[in-house]
Chain A
């Protein structure tokens, strides 16, 4: 079925699924020789992201590239092919009490290549960073079909230009991610969360400030629906105990919350489901990004259309996620208004990225904010160097890259 593989609304003519990396390189070489436009798809969980590609002949799936190449638990690193799903990785790593702490919507489908290409992250970015912080090596297939590597399999390495960093978040516009070496982390001995409920945003902000002032080390800090602050701690039993206790008593009291409770595993999981929902549901899905001192949770929402999921914000990271219905015409106004609103409130430092856009609105809006001309010129030069014929996911990324 190619219909389900539409990339930002564009259905490819063909879908091929190479079985090996050699195969992948061969397929790309062939497409390059024929000057066919192509895009890479892993689990297909983020196909809505970005603008409609200008051309798309073939989707190249990486899903069959699903081998674990080398796992060194004593070194806390793993090298895998790009099509390995996060669920599979979880199973392999759990055998040695380890994990890849990147949150995605659907671990059974999301692939390592996909999370690198989209720089996907969720609440645990607070503690562990994103693929940018965890990737130590990458093997790619360039748009001309040439295989190349950057980085390595050791956790520290400054030899040569940092190809792994460039690939993170490049949305498949510079080539295919074929293999990756990632740093992994131990599963925490203890994992517990508290929820503090507030009447207003001011209370949330003061609780977050207290957490920073106390030098706590939370694994994640999430605000649900503008009023519920869920803070998760991961680490040794005693360390987690102490921080949980401090959240429930002094921090809760000083920030004027109406209710503070520790969450059961089930309750914690149910909050995490809401986090996944806002990244999955809704015809409009947006991410607001701003310097964290701005009250990001309340910065922006679509006034004009119904929320389809509980809004979620990461106040320490300055990131908020919203999912809404398509709403009434003209639908593109929703995004334009939100952008203006966010820019006005952040002196131009905040921006809005659309993860999903209703098909009717696609022709009228840009999924990405506008780049400064000088920045754009350098990115364009990078794209031209890697893909001079513009075959690789052309136009899907920011500024038409």
Chain B
């Protein structure tokens, strides 16, 4: 096999826009871009470009359109649903070079950032002033704001403060025709004019265009944060504790649950001194003004005890607090300690149903002879069952995938959702057709095509198609007005 040393004609044209070193076309270098955090799928893009400005993004989009190439936007590639998985022959537009915090305006409590800025870097930049950017996905030290916007990412502390969509006020986006559009708030004003386009772009999984700037809300760090850590004999009692807390009208900043297997993995990986002989653990934060934190913590304690907690600890200082949260944030990575492979699932159920749903999930695992660890955002009812398997054992990977899929059906049966934060992407398009009707999906397609009538951005994602899912009910049917061309951009 001969190794190419000069870019092909196509890559050369992109290189002319972004500069030679920012156009990636050598097969060995393309490998990094063949997949995201959803392992098991790899597709080689035609070319990867790393533009350095909004204008370069717009020029790349125009060129891709001229050449009729699909475009797949990419942040840090930590997505877990295949959102930045390339399409065959596509151009990947990577935003990793656009990582400047452009402006911090504490008077208006906003920051304007480029899409490649790492989530945690915003809070780091603001820490000295006592401000922070609230949404805190566990991947926050590596994932980008552009990826967060596309996925409407959540995090432990979104329980009290809301998700990415509640913290993104305005966006600059490059549409399919290369047009640069500013939507939502420009400088921190709260009522932007017209339809909430920013609200639609957030969570649109890179299918509306390329976000090149975000105006995000920043908040004062709370006056005080109290962490509580409670252990329980099983997830039944821990689940009950969560419904009691929510039902009692207590709004903690975060409530996270870990079951026995998750605790084991985390202890092995991080050395935190959590007891190994318990069935479940809740980690919660209460924050706000001093007296309020004190009273709310006391009330929460009562509920934890009433639900049957074994032990309740309150970390004494920031160092102890940080350690407990470090354990939580390391949870996915820690699974490597107890299993060669695992499949991360993400589903949502009503918060009152945590205990029975976890029992059903355990039964699914037992039925397939697989262990399932649970570590999740309990306060929001956002489950993350981790189905453990060993890819070396024939059939286990498929069995794990099957169980993970069945878990989503359990979530749907309880009136929940097939994704709370990881997105639909490539992974769950077919399940979306089980959650929504053909009319619902068609309506969502009307939303999408208002931004991207040619469906150039991230094609083959999110929407179920017969090719992906077979002839299942709920597969997408094009809208009559789309076919007739009546509903174009006007």
- Choice from B377, B416, B439 contacting A147 with Cβ under 8 Å: B439
Is residue A71 within 8 Å, beta carbon to beta carbon, of the partner chain?
no
Given contacts A160-B432, A236-B291, A374-B179, contact A380 B191 (CB under 8 A): no
Q: Give 1 or 0 for each of B441-468: 1 = CB within 8 Å of chain A CB.
A: 1111011111101000000001000000
CB pair A161–B243 under 8 Å, yes or no, is no
Is residue A87 within 8 Å, beta carbon to beta carbon, of the partner chain?
no
- Choice from A77, A129, A153, A351 contacting B166 with Cβ under 8 Å: A129
Smallest CB–CB gap between B158 and chain A, Å? 8
A380 to B416, CA, bound (A): 33
- Choice from B183, B291, B479 contacting A242 with Cβ under 8 Å: B291
Could you say which residues of chain A place their CB within 8 Å of the CB of B175? Answer: 378
Smallest CB–CB gap between A337 and chain B, Å? 20
Could you say which residues of chain A place their CB within 8 Å of the CB of B462? Answer: 160
B contacts with A, residue count (CB < 8 A): 102
A216 to B222, CA, bound (A): 9
Chain A interface bracket (under 10, 10 to 19, 20 to 34, 35 or more): 35 or more
Is residue B320 within 8 Å, beta carbon to beta carbon, of the partner chain?
no
Q: Give 1 or 0 for each of B290-334: 1 = CB within 8 Å of chain A CB.
A: 111111100100000000000000000000000000000000000
A161 to B271, CA, bound (A): 41
Is residue A30 within 8 Å, beta carbon to beta carbon, of the partner chain?
no
A299 to B292, CA, bound (A): 35
Is residue B481 within 8 Å, beta carbon to beta carbon, of the partner chain?
yes
A235 to B286, CA, bound (A): 13
CB pair A388–B348 under 8 Å, yes or no, is no
CB pair A154–B182 under 8 Å, yes or no, is no
CB pair B443–A148 under 8 Å, yes or no, is yes
Q: Which residue of A lies closest to B201 (CB)?
A: A162
A368 to B416, CA, bound (A): 39
CB pair B193–A398 under 8 Å, yes or no, is yes
- Choice from B189, B193, B447 contacting A291 with Cβ under 8 Å: B189
Is residue A371 within 8 Å, beta carbon to beta carbon, of the partner chain?
yes
Is residue B151 within 8 Å, beta carbon to beta carbon, of the partner chain?
yes
CB pair B186–A163 under 8 Å, yes or no, is no
A142 to B487, CA, bound (A): 14
Could you say which residues of chain B place their CB within 8 Å of the CB of A77? Answer: 350
Is residue B249 within 8 Å, beta carbon to beta carbon, of the partner chain?
yes
Could you say which residues of chain A place their CB within 8 Å of the CB of B146? Answer: none
Given contacts A165-B199, A384-B490, contact A154 B187 (CB under 8 A): no
Q: Which residue of B lies closest to A350 (CB)?
A: B189
Smallest CB–CB gap between A160 and chain B, Å? 5
Q: Give 1 or 0 for each of A360-399: 1 = CB within 8 Å of chain B CB.
A: 0000000011011011111111101110100000000111
Is residue B382 within 8 Å, beta carbon to beta carbon, of the partner chain?
yes
Given contacts A217-B292, A235-B292, A384-B488, contact A166 B193 (CB under 8 A): no
Is residue A212 within 8 Å, beta carbon to beta carbon, of the partner chain?
yes
CB pair A385–B487 under 8 Å, yes or no, is yes
CB pair B417–A157 under 8 Å, yes or no, is yes
Given contacts A146-B439, A158-B151, A242-B289, contact A381 B189 (CB under 8 A): no
Could you say which residues of chain B place their CB within 8 Å of the CB of A344? Answer: none
Is residue A340 within 8 Å, beta carbon to beta carbon, of the partner chain?
no
Could you say which residues of chain A place their CB within 8 Å of the CB of B291? Answer: 236, 238-239, 241-242
Smallest CB–CB gap between B315 and chain A, Å? 21
- Choice from B108, B109, B190, B423 contacting A289 with Cβ under 8 Å: B190
Which A residues between 72 and 111 are near B, CB-CB below 8 angstroms? 72-77, 97-98
Could you say which residues of chain B place their CB within 8 Å of the CB of A162? Answer: 152, 165, 199-200, 202-204
CB pair A163–B295 under 8 Å, yes or no, is no
Q: Which residue of B lies closest to A214 (CB)?
A: B223
Could you say which residues of chain B place their CB within 8 Å of the CB of A147? Answer: 439
A204 to B137, CA, bound (A): 38
CB pair B432–A157 under 8 Å, yes or no, is no
Q: Which residue of A lies closest to B197 (CB)?
A: A378
A155 to B419, CA, bound (A): 12
CB pair B490–A292 under 8 Å, yes or no, is no
Which A residues between 157 and 194 are near B, CB-CB below 8 angstroms? 157-163, 165-166, 168-170, 174, 185-187
A146 to B197, CA, bound (A): 22
CB pair B487–A154 under 8 Å, yes or no, is no
Is residue B380 within 8 Å, beta carbon to beta carbon, of the partner chain?
yes
Which A residues between 331 and 352 are near B, CB-CB below 8 angstroms? 349-351
Is residue B19 within 8 Å, beta carbon to beta carbon, of the partner chain?
no
A149 to B488, CA, bound (A): 23
Smallest CB–CB gap between B259 and chain A, Å? 20
Which A residues between 120 and 167 are near B, CB-CB below 8 angstroms? 125, 129, 132-133, 140, 142, 146-150, 152-163, 165-166
Q: Which residue of A lies closest to B224 (CB)?
A: A215
A241 to B154, CA, bound (A): 33
A318 to B481, CA, bound (A): 41
Could you say which residues of chain B place their CB within 8 Å of the CB of A350? Answer: 189
- Choice from B179, B190, B440 contacting A160 with Cβ under 8 Å: B440
A145 to B350, CA, bound (A): 30
Could you say which residues of chain A place their CB within 8 Å of the CB of B421? Answer: 156, 158
Q: Which residue of B lies closest to A215 (CB)?
A: B223
Most A C-beta atoms less than 10 A away, residue of B108, B189, B380, B440 = B189
CB pair B108–A291 under 8 Å, yes or no, is yes
Could you say which residues of chain B place their CB within 8 Å of the CB of A287? Answer: 191
A42 to B243, CA, bound (A): 34
Smallest CB–CB gap between A152 and chain B, Å? 5
CB pair A385–B194 under 8 Å, yes or no, is no
CB pair A157–B420 under 8 Å, yes or no, is yes
Is residue A39 within 8 Å, beta carbon to beta carbon, of the partner chain?
no
CB pair B351–A74 under 8 Å, yes or no, is yes
- Choice from B108, B163, B197, B437 contacting A292 with Cβ under 8 Å: B108
CB pair A388–B222 under 8 Å, yes or no, is no
- Choice from B110, B296, B350 contacting A153 with Cβ under 8 Å: B350
CB pair A75–B352 under 8 Å, yes or no, is yes
Smallest CB–CB gap between A249 and chain B, Å? 15
Given contacts A217-B292, A241-B291, A382-B450, contact A98 B443 (CB under 8 A): no
CB pair B432–A168 under 8 Å, yes or no, is no
CB pair B222–A215 under 8 Å, yes or no, is yes
The interface of chain A, by Cβ under 8 A from chain B, is: 72-77, 97-98, 119, 125, 129, 132-133, 140, 142, 146-150, 152-163, 165-166, 168-170, 174, 185-187, 212, 214-217, 235-243, 287, 289-293, 317-319, 349-351, 353, 368-369, 371-372, 374-382, 384-386, 388, 397-399, 401
Besides A154-B350, A236-B292, 19 new A-B residue pairs in contact (Cβ under 8 A), listed by A number: A129-B166, A152-B417, A154-B348, A154-B416, A156-B421, A158-B151, A162-B202, A169-B196, A185-B251, A215-B223, A235-B292, A238-B294, A242-B290, A291-B189, A374-B180, A377-B179, A378-B181, A381-B451, A398-B194
6 tightest Cβ-Cβ pairs between the two chains A and B: A186-B249, A239-B292, A165-B199, A293-B107, A238-B291, A161-B444
The interface of chain B, by Cβ under 8 A from chain A, is: 105, 107-110, 151-152, 154, 158, 162-163, 165-166, 175, 179-183, 186-191, 193-197, 199-200, 202-204, 220-223, 243, 246-251, 288-296, 299, 348-352, 377, 380-382, 415-424, 428, 432, 435-437, 439-444, 446-451, 453, 462, 479, 481-482, 486-490
25 pairs, CB–CB < 8 Å, chain A vs chain B: A72-B352, A75-B350, A129-B162, A146-B443, A147-B439, A152-B416, A155-B351, A155-B380, A156-B154, A156-B382, A156-B420, A159-B417, A160-B440, A185-B251, A214-B223, A215-B221, A215-B289, A236-B295, A238-B291, A239-B291, A291-B189, A318-B190, A374-B180, A378-B175, A379-B194
